[in-house]
Chains A and B, each alone.
Chain A
């Protein structure tokens, strides 16, 4: 895709105080249970009291963060809603499934069935924003949000008219889903403090998390947080193939590795994941390295939170101390690489820059 796109606004509900940006990191929150839960904002700002009672956590998080993101963009109209979710509303799915088993397929409550539909957040956001335009939902594990952002970039490259798209990713970690993933070795055997996750990178597994993050993106550079030049999604790449992809992106944008001053990484404390990042980062000895999964935990759309973090630090021209893996002297954040990688080796590479 030839034209860059621009992040106009970003909003995140996460295990950190992120919904109101000025509170980010004041204070940092942590868990010792290997499971980070998102801090819930006051959802009544965007959802009626009747609806709030019926809705599961995922719907509420998706709606509030999506609507807040549109508000912060200060735009009158959006031209599409594109989201990603690894699991949709697991809580509704679990409730309907267990009721079905318990009640032997009789007298079931349809609300759980409806809300378990993967695009239910999208439907609500379309209603609340009165957006009748393009509406899409990707459900592709660790690339779900990334595919939504990819689609948005594709769409903005198809037009010359000024457009604004709402793009988000959301997942919640239920007790049952945690148990299921535990049985296939996702989580660390020992209970650790989440803020120290990256110190435990010699053992297998990570910690669980959840959240919902949205960005508005546009082809109009005016008054935006940062520019996104490239996004590449690798379903199952090793470190060598990923490094090659990054080099291709840099070349296509007339940059060399030395031009990259900041790298935001989705390292998750797993030993193989760490080896991957060690290999990739060896080519960038002069860059500041930041990480975010010790703040949000690992979940299918952690990349949405990672994108929120990246846009925020570029806009503020500042990487908070708690995110730093390695700091290098730099005057300004100009060119940033973003690299997320999941336990299933799904990898996302983005090139972003400061456009102020």
Chain B
């Protein structure tokens, strides 16, 4: 049997705050991070609530000892850098240089948050436009490269972009590379900053709720967008023990599969989601009855919650575990969603509480399932399942177990 891959450090920034304490406090008090945007400059800023991180670009740059303006660092990269800084706060940074480390990042629209306000200058006649240092930051790997350089992470780096499942896929690649002995450790996760591009994109699909999103509710009206970044440090159990690192969770299973059905809509009865959850649980060597909690993708769009709900009912039949979507807290953080939701679930598992699904009132018609709507404390959580489903039919499920 292959060696266990474990989580030994976590870094996170989202609308709920910065770092573990602020996140756990918000979850335990059922406090959502949603509000009207302060930093996102959109004509729709007063119409849509979003999960915007509280720190300004200047605050974030200052945290990283970077110049606070014209530095070429987009908000996407700054969020990612601060999350990695959080991850490394109890870790010897020398490890990243001394032993083979992979940095596997995920991102959907790169530095769009900056470039969308500068683009017409960039393609205009001026050969040296203002903000030239941002001209090539639209690239998804811009944040990856800058972080690798900032922390001198060697020798491997990669950026994955599979829409809303991107960072979940980054975690899988880290798991596989360590299992095959290609690297000793991997820092895996993802980042996305709010942008007008994505807000208008989802709005053009009529997928955005102007009010707080209501996952798995009969009267759900769409998603709320969010931003953030999260990273996990992965290594083998032996490697963690060798250096006396605390094991925060075991990354026990995963699956990636595709709907092969439609560019944006999930398979109608959740066949893809069903198959992915089932494979991930099997990969972990578990049975459905072993899962104590599901962190659902639960975007609160009509399509997703219908098909994910059906998939959960089909797979778990009349033994459905506690489940919730944490998107009402953070908004849908796109590429970062998979890892951020894994992190929130790990916090719940470590501290024995079930995160309630906010804003739930009415069960979906024709279905028996309903999410856990109130905080449950003192629950022994042995194994959790975290779902991320993206455009292009890209489905990922991850299983984490108590250490």
Chain A contacts to B: CB under 8 angstroms: 1, 81, 86-88, 93, 96-98, 100-101, 104-106, 108-110, 113-120, 122-124, 126-127, 129-141, 143, 147, 151, 154-155, 157-158, 176, 179-181, 183-184, 233-236
Contacts and interface: CB of A to CB of B under 8 A. Distances in A.
B257 A183 contact: no
A140 B177 CA distance: 17
User: Main SS of chain B's interface residues?
Assistant: mixed
B100 to A, nearest CB: 12
B392 A119 contact: yes
A155 B182 CA distance: 13
A183 B161 contact: no
23 contacts: A97-B197, A105-B44, A105-B196, A108-B200, A114-B263, A116-B201, A118-B140, A119-B163, A120-B263, A122-B394, A127-B263, A131-B258, A133-B258, A135-B162, A135-B392, A136-B256, A137-B162, A138-B158, A157-B180, A179-B122, A179-B123, A183-B127, A183-B129
Contact of B107 (A114, A133, A139, A234): A139
Contacts of A114: 205, 263-264, 391
A153 to B, nearest CB: 10
A154 B176 contact: yes
A113 B205 contact: yes
The listed residue with most A CB atoms (<10 A of its CB), out of B107, B140, B148, is B140
Contact of B394 (A101, A119, A181): A119
Nearest to A237: B155
Q: For the complex of A and B, list the 8 residue pairs with the smallest distance between their C-beta atoms, beginning with the closest.
A: A123-B392, A113-B201, A118-B161, A139-B161, A110-B204, A135-B258, A139-B140, A119-B392
B391 A120 contact: yes
A154 B141 contact: no
A135 B132 CA distance: 36
Given A157-B180, A183-B128, A132 B275 contact: yes
Given A104-B43, A122-B392, A135-B394, A81 B258 contact: yes
Interface in B298-327: none
B401 interface: no
Contact of B159 (A105, A124, A139): A139
B255 to A, nearest CB: 9
B120 interface: yes
Contacts of A138: 158-161
Nearest to B207: A110
Contacts of B144: 140
Contacts of A127: 260-263, 393
Nearest to B201: A113
Nearest to B122: A180
Interface residues of B, number: 64
Nearest to A151: B173
Given A132-B258, A154-B176, A139 B135 contact: no
Contact of A133 (B159, B161, B163, B257): B257
A5 to B, nearest CB: 14
B204 A108 contact: yes
Given A105-B43, A127-B262, A119 B161 contact: yes
A84 B333 CA distance: 23
Contacts of B258: 81, 122-123, 126, 131-135
A1 B180 contact: yes
A234 B155 contact: yes
A86 B139 contact: yes
A160 to B, nearest CB: 14
A87 B139 contact: yes
A117 B275 contact: no
A20 B9 CA distance: 51
A118 B108 contact: yes
A48 to B, nearest CB: 14
B57 interface: no
A206 B116 CA distance: 27
A184 B132 contact: yes
B162 to A, nearest CB: 5
Interface in B339-397: 390-394
B155 to A, nearest CB: 7
A101 B43 CA distance: 11
B259 A132 contact: yes
Contacts of B163: 117-119
A123 B139 contact: no
Contact of B136 (A1, A134, A147, A184): A184
A1 B179 CA distance: 11
Given A101-B119, A132-B275, A151-B173, 19 more contacts: A1-B182, A96-B197, A96-B201, A110-B201, A110-B205, A120-B391, A122-B162, A122-B394, A123-B258, A131-B260, A136-B256, A139-B107, A154-B182, A158-B176, A180-B123, A181-B136, A183-B128, A183-B129, A183-B135
Nearest to A101: B120
B272 interface: yes
Contacts of A119: 161-163, 390-392, 394
B77 interface: no
A108 B43 CA distance: 14
Contact of B392 (A96, A97, A126): A126
A183 B122 contact: yes
Contacts of B119: 97-98, 101
Nearest to A131: B260
A154 B43 contact: no
B143 to A, nearest CB: 11
